Structure 1
Amino acid sequence: MKHILTITCIAVLLLSCSTDQDDNLDPGKAPVAITFQFTHNWDDVLVTNSSINNSIFTNAHGETMTITRLRYLISGFQLIHENGTTYNFDGYKFTDLSTPESYNFTPQSNSIPKGRYTLKFIWGFNADTNLDGAYPELNSASWNWPAMLGGGYHFLQMDGMYNVNTMAKPYNFHNGTARVSAGVFEQNFAEITLNTPITITNSGLISVNMNLAEFFKNPNTWNLNNLDTNLMPNYQAQKMMQANVQSVFSLGTNTP
């Protein structure tokens, strides 16, 4: 289903773009600017900052869960025009569920022609950008991934309690570089492609939904009774997370 952006121009977001790229796609027409808006849910239940420590969810394996902390990182945003031209957006999106202001991401260099696009981005950082200590904001947020586990940065921190209706236990669902063995590491980012076409006719929001339940069910059904804490050095757990994140994101309804 096509998603249509017919949104009032947000003039403060309009920045310059390559004249050649604009002319190739839409000669004589002004470029538009985009903000990426992320929403969070657990299947059909909306998840917001008010859900922290308050809502109880049930994963695919049947464990009841709470969320006490959720933070994640996305980078490498791209919009690919139907003619094959790719528009890259600099920067990264660091989201903290407790801070609603972090749900949106407006790239600094942000100006594209109107047209029909698909969206791609990187879960975490790729090999070229996942560099130790390179991002002051992330350093101050204690987002670093331990050097002994490959270094760089976390992709995800999801913490809480499970089996909350019986005997509650903590879980720490943390994702980043995968440690194969002592001194041997494997890149663990994921390339996410949302193939639903987006027709962009004006400046505004591209909404992306993040279904947290998918981390625990597709393709790997997650048993928290076996995999609850100390997952960062666990190679198999890290690769399972990388596989499961592929189904977490979907294109949402674009709104003014």
Structure 2
Amino acid sequence: MKKHIIALTAFVTLSVGAAGQASASNVHTVEKGDTLWSISQAENVSVQDLQQWNDLNSTVIYPSQQLRVEGALETYIVVSGDTLSTIAEKHNVTVKQLMSNNQLTSDLIIPGDKLVLKGSKVTQPEVKGATKTSVTSNTPSETKPAATAAKELTMTSTAYTASCAGCSGITATGINLKANPNQKVISVDPNVIPLGSKVWVEGYGEAIAGDTGGAIKGNKIDIFIPSKQAAINWGRKEVKVKILD
């Protein structure tokens, strides 16, 4: 995707959300040929939201599986000036719960991020012949992503947006970032991190390696942040990156 890399120093805050209860209308039964991507496009949600709402550690889904597709969790979208403490106090949760629910390893938060406050996830039906995956809980005392990492790297990170002049908003793998501004995507060198990989980035969280860039070679990544100012605030810094699948 054509984009501009924005680099400066770092500062962070969070983003806003709405809550809802599950009903028959917001549960999708997977049919043959469905993918998380096709379901996300049909339901106007992000792949990451589908994975989070349904405790999915990968993009593998099965026919007859039920997926929650909207209003799965009570969420909050951070606004300028928010901190984890003020959000926790306002919504009657603890900072520890916020960090655990959102797999945060620090109190740094990015404008536009959707925070899970509380809620339950869809219980998946048993799929004959399918291998069940488990989710590793993440607490503030742990500096690990939700899933076991296959490989860990230290990489130089920068940030970009989809709203720059001349930017199409479509990534190398076809993700429409303008239509899905809350999707967490990183641009990678496919020779280092294969496109489509699920990754965890220190200070950013779980994301999809869904884009490439002319300046992104070797141990470099470019993270997508919907807010231009937040991308500027991210700057250029060394981060730990864990390849989850």
Q: Which has the larger radius of gyration?
A: 1
TM-score (norm 1): 0.23
TM-score (norm 2): 0.24
